[in-house]
Structure 1
Amino acid sequence: MSKKLLALSMTVFAGASLVHAATMTRQEYNDYRGWQLPEGENGNDVGYIIEDRAGKKNTEELDGFVQWLPKDEFLRKFSPAETPQDRVRLEQRELYTKLDALENFLDKGQPSFINDEQWEQLNFQSKAMHTYNQILLNRLELFKEEV
């Protein structure tokens, strides 16, 4: 696959960081890198070539850190982030995860290592996060209405 064709076929995804990725079999990735497929590996395994442009360049063809992940592992780590709807959905999911963790912590009661002022701020933070979460949910509903 040419550099230009590969670059055009890549889509933005979000995980721990934003990456560009395209579907590619294990064999295609090994061919791309100029490597021999290791014995015992299935070249037909479907996965994704990933370019993390924030990472250290490790190929001549692309500008970021390039690696390959099997499809299942990739989909556990990354979600599409191409459209505004994708990005709001991702933001809401990440916020909900943080809010859930904070609520679980608050439900246990104030621990001795947190003073009253900090505890009060954590409760304010929870309320603000609830409001923020509701705004994101409302935006997602508005996206549905626009279709």
Structure 2
Amino acid sequence: MQTYIGTKIIRALPMTRQEYNDYRGWQLPADENGDDEGYLVEYVDGGKANDQRHAGYISWSPKDVFERSYRPMQGHGLPPHQQRVAEEKYELNEKLGKLLAFFQTEIFSSLPEAERSRLRNQARFMDGYSAVLQERIVAFGEQQ
């Protein structure tokens, strides 16, 4: 096995395990503690949305795991121009997620092939742009 370290941009909201289960409309399993502190995490760097209220994939993370893995970007020494890059990537990924979801609709299917092709090209360019922004964000950590 090889060891990896990842960099992701996420959105998060403090929430107990019970609150997360309630939010999702799920029953808390009998062997889990609903009072466990944690976070609802929305991955904005990819992953198919699994809840219609969110553009990205959501899950729940225990507080200790979350806090070892993620740090707030604001207040951690990122200069404003670097913070803007992270925000730009977040906004771009939200738009890309919506475009990819549009591809699954009847409206998209009813468009002429030339327009569908242009939209697919748009998605490819957006994905490439997102990858460049990700490289820049990773480099920010190497510069500190």
Q: TM-score, normalised by structure 2?
A: 0.50
- Structure exhibiting the larger radius of gyration computed from Cα positions: 1
Higher strand share: 1
Q: TM-score, normalised by structure 1?
A: 0.49
